[in-house]
Amino acid sequence: MELRKKIKKDALFSLRNSWGKATAILLFICGVHLLFLLLEQFFGTLLHIDFLSGGGRLDLYRGRLEVGTPFVLMAALFALISFVVTVPLHYGAAKWYLRQVGGDSPALSTIFDCFHSLRRFFRSLLLKINVALRVLGVGVLAFLPSAAIFLAIRYMGGYESPGAVIARLLLIPLLCLISLAAALFVFAFSLRYFLAGYLFVNSHKGVLECIRLSVQGMKGNIQLTFSFYLSFLPWFLLAPLLVPLLFIYPYMQASLAIYAKYLMTKMERYS
């Protein structure tokens, strides 16, 4: 608890003269994400491809999800393009925060660090993909009970007897609860790789080495890291209001950068 309070206090101190830069980074990255969403909507409208016109339908009551192939292909294409562009930007932002909390005064151009060489660029993508696949594998297993319940709801969707209707009404909240538990479990598992991105931007280590060191450094620190993220939850309840979000995100990223530096220093000390 004391460590968490100190980290958050130091995070605010480190940003005291750099809130403008931190806000600019947030707005720029959000703007890039928004740009790809708007482009997807534009081309979807232009080509008459969207969820509804493509025959898409979600009926949770009967367990039915129908999505048109053109909609899926277009969404996948823009998701891929967005991924390729924004992942290096997020790693660049992580480097900016690491340097900022370390006492430097990094330029805004730091967020483009991964674009300086093709090797660095592709390594950033490989790191993200590698971590994502590991988390996805566990996620598939964790959500198997949810999938089974969804299929049960779908199966009973063909029956309109009182028993089937009651069963569906009982299974829907159960599906939500089990899915929430699975999501929390997967998030906790993903914290094994919390340090991977920071190790990547703070050194010239390879992708697999960053992952290995992250898993090693996070041993015994998963619960603390999980509670550290949860401590920001009350703040994010204010996120729908734009102005608080401009404060919360830089505050959280600076706090996470300090925490990452603490764990990396601790790992180096005992290695």
In a domain, 76, yes or no: yes
Q: Which pLDDT tens digits describe the chain residue by residue (271 residues)? A: 688 899 999 999 999 989 999 999 999 999 999 999 898 888 877 776 664 444 445 554 454 555 556 767 778 888 899 999 999 999 999 999 999 999 888 999 999 999 999 999 999 999 999 999 999 999 999 999 999 988 887 777 666 667 767 777 788 888 899 999 999 999 999 999 999 999 999 988 999 999 999 999 999 899 999 999 998 888 777 766 655 778 889 999 999 999 999 999 988 877 6
13 inside domain: no
Does 6 map to a domain? no
Range of the domain at 198: 20-270
Classify residue 98: in a domain, yes or no: yes
Give which of 150, 230, 140, 143 is closest to 179, Cα–Cα. Answer: 143
Whether 197 is in a domain gets the answer: yes
Residue 80 domain flag: yes
pTM of the entire predicted model: 0.84
Q: Is residue 246 domain-resident?
A: yes
What's the number of domains the chain is made of? 1
Widest CA span of the chain, in angstroms?
68
Q: Which pLDDT belongs to residue 140?
A: 96
In a domain? residue 8: no
Closest CA to 261 of 220, 175, 179, 202: 202
